Amino acid sequence: MDQWSQMNTQSNGEFSRIMGGNFSRKQRQLDEAEKLFQAALLEAKEGFGLRDPHVASALNNLAEFYRLKKEYEKAELLYLEAIEILEESFQSDDIRVGTALHSLGICYHLQRKFAEAQTCYERALKIEGRVMGVGHPEYASTLYLLAKVLSLQGKRRDAESLTEESIRILEEAGLGESPTCIQRMTYLSMELIKSKRLGEAETWQRKILHTLELSKGWDSLHTAHAAELLSLTLQALEKLKESEELFERCLAARKKVLPEGHFLVAVSLVYLARLTLHKFASDLKNIDSDVAKHYFARAKQHSNDSIRITEGILNSSSKDQNKLDSTSATDRDKIAATAILLQALEVVGLIDIAAKHVLGKGDPNYRSIDDAVNKCISLYRKPGTRRLVTKVVKQDYMRCLRLLINIIEDHLLMQQTMELQELLGEAQLIIEELGEES
């Protein structure tokens, strides 16, 4: 490894240490780190001259620092200056220029300057392919980044082809089971789903699950997540029996690995509740009232368990959460719990209306839609969760309320109590308020 690359590798390790640590400690270190990088740049200029490769290395290090701080414009100017010096010192097809172009491409990518990022990645690829060879993992990495910016520009077929090539390179290098390769296969499967090519997505997701089953087993959250993604695709393809089996295995794996009150357990439960209703709807002609009751009871149990878990996360204090899983309920946990709770409340509404049609209005076991609306409104009234709703899950919240309102207005018009009418009025006001904020 040459001196320039070695210095960059060392500095990147320092960036990771600073940016990945405790938040308050990180904040205290940032100013000091910036001064150190600026001092290193000044020292390089004074010691080696303004156009020396050592200066380019120092410029690149400071640029990386600003990129990690999300001060992209500052980083961009420093990368450009570093590339200019390197091209003067080593010519434009030198690998050091390629490495710097790769970094500048990432900076443009993060700024959503996709055309500029594409140009940098393509230039970097030519250099890397010539120097390292087209079978090198670093070449594959740049291919993957280029694929992502092409996809963001609507060039999905080209992006899919490059992603597949990136995966093939890793597999031929013996890295087919690596987290990097799994990540790229997952990305490719999601791109295929966006293109409505579910059959091809299913093939890749089966490959991912098979790889993880062999390498990690089922006592792994990675395997459970892969099973969940495949289950959702199978459900969309109407392969409901296999989808349910995978959802059940995913739920069992998460319950074994995670605390009972973890939001990922709630995710599995709400997906199973939705799938149960999907199975009921797909075989409606052949279902009698007893079988229907079985479906509804199963869906209701799953959705209620999901609601119980998510409400526990949203209502827990830091002290309670410490008892639960040794971590406080972070904003990320609460955002996830809020989104899952809304999905579970939607399922409750769907169960109610399905039961009304099949079992008749006299069955008292499925009259919980007003409770679902009440929970949805109560969620918004709480200052803590309201902040999360308006900031992150606004569209989820509006969709849930609209669904519940529509069910009540379309199917329960003659059964509305004064209390339910008041709830509907308040729900409509919240939707209007959120719409104005949008």
152 phi and psi, to 5 degrees? -65, -15
Q: State how far the Cα of 326 lies from the Cα of 127, in Å rounded to an integer.
A: 48
Tell me which DSSP letter residue 382 carries: S
Q: State how far the Cα of 318 lies from the Cα of 331, in Å rounded to an integer.
A: 12
Query: For residue 27, how many other CB atoms are within 10 A of its CB?
Result: 10
Return the higher-pLDDT residue of 19 and 270: 270
Q: State how far the Cα of 345 lies from the Cα of 310, in Å rounded to an integer.
A: 11
Summarize pLDDT for 300-349 with one digit per residue, the tens.
999 999 999 999 998 875 444 444 443 456 778 888 899 999 999 999 98
Q: Please, what is the Cα angle at 212 between 207 and 217, to 5 degrees?
A: 140
Q: Tell me whether residue 311 is exposed, middle or buried, using C-beta atoms within 10 angstroms of its C-beta: 0 to 12, 13 to 18, 19 or more.
A: middle
pLDDT band at 415; cut points 50, 70, 90: low
Percentage helix, strand, coil for the chain under 3-state DSSP, each rounded to 5? 85, 0, 15
Summarize pLDDT for 201-214 with one digit per residue, the tens.
999 999 999 999 99
Q: State how far the Cα of 144 lies from the Cα of 371, in Å rounded to an integer.
A: 48
Residues ≥6 apart with Cβ < 8 Å to 94: 86, 87, 127
Q: State how far the Cα of 92 lies from the Cα of 78, in Å rounded to an integer.
A: 17
> Does pLDDT of 27 surpass 80?
no
pLDDT of residue 111: 95
pLDDT band at 267; cut points 50, 70, 90: very high
pLDDT of residue 26: 67
Q: State how far the Cα of 429 lies from the Cα of 420, in Å rounded to an integer.
A: 14
Q: Whose structure tokens read 């229907």?
A: 292
Query: Nearest-CA neighbor of 223 among 262, 188, 249, 189?
Result: 249
Residues comprising the chain, all counted: 438
Tell me which DSSP letter residue 362 carries: T
pLDDT band at 33; cut points 50, 70, 90: confident
pLDDT of residue 315: 84
Q: Whose structure tokens read 């308040």?
A: 426
**Mean per-residue pLDDT, 140-162:** 96
Query: For residue 308, how many other CB atoms are within 10 A of its CB?
Result: 14
> Does pLDDT of 7 surpass 80?
no
Summarize pLDDT for 352-385 with one digit per residue, the tens.
888 877 876 545 555 578 788 888 888 888 877 7
Q: Name the residue type at position 372.
A: A
pLDDT of residue 19: 47
Q: Name the residue type at position 247.
A: F
pLDDT of residue 327: 42
Lowest mean pLDDT among 4-18, 164-178, 218-232: 4-18
Query: Nearest-CA neighbor of 75 among 115, 37, 20?
Result: 37
360 membership: H or E segment, kind and range? none
